[in-house]
Amino acid sequence: MNYSFHPQAQVEFEQAIEYYEGCQDDLGYEFAIEIHDTIQNIVNFPCTWPELQSGIRRCLARRFPYGVLYFMEQGDILILVVMHLHRSPDYWKSRMQ
């Protein structure tokens, strides 16, 4: 199964990496690895994670307070959000259009 990022999700991901790298050397790298591991869990078990709303699921990262929101479309996964869990929970909904 293939996956891709919504353009805004890609930007969020890159900004979070930069933020963590600014906090501590290699922390951004560790964050990136954690999110890629989370995405690999999604790819391996796409229907396992709970639905937040119709067709949109969320898989939580283990070490960092982030969730990856995604949906499946024609056998592929679209990552909608790489979301900090303390951020306003509905900010991403405009991406569904």
Q: Which domain holds residue 70?
A: 3-96
Number of domains present in the structure of the chain: 1
For residue 48, the model assigns a pLDDT of 95
* Number of helices followed by number of strands (H, E) in the chain: 2, 5
Q: Report the alpha-carbon angle 36-49-41, nearest 5.
A: 25
For residue 94, the model assigns a pLDDT of 64
For residue 91, the model assigns a pLDDT of 62
Two structure tokens written together for 31: 């964050």
Instruction: Work out the angle between the directed axes of helices 27-44 and 7-23 (0-180°, nearest 10).
Output: 140
Alpha-carbon distance values, 92 to 30, 37, 79 (Å): 25, 22, 11
For residue 1, the model assigns a pLDDT of 85
For residue 89, the model assigns a pLDDT of 67
Give the CATH number for residue 72.
3.30.2310.20
For residue 13, the model assigns a pLDDT of 97
Strand 56-60 with 66-73, pairing:
antiparallel
User: pLDDT averaged over consecutive 10-residue blocks of the chain (97 residues)?
Assistant: 94 97 97 98 95 93 96 93 84 65
pTM of the model: 0.88
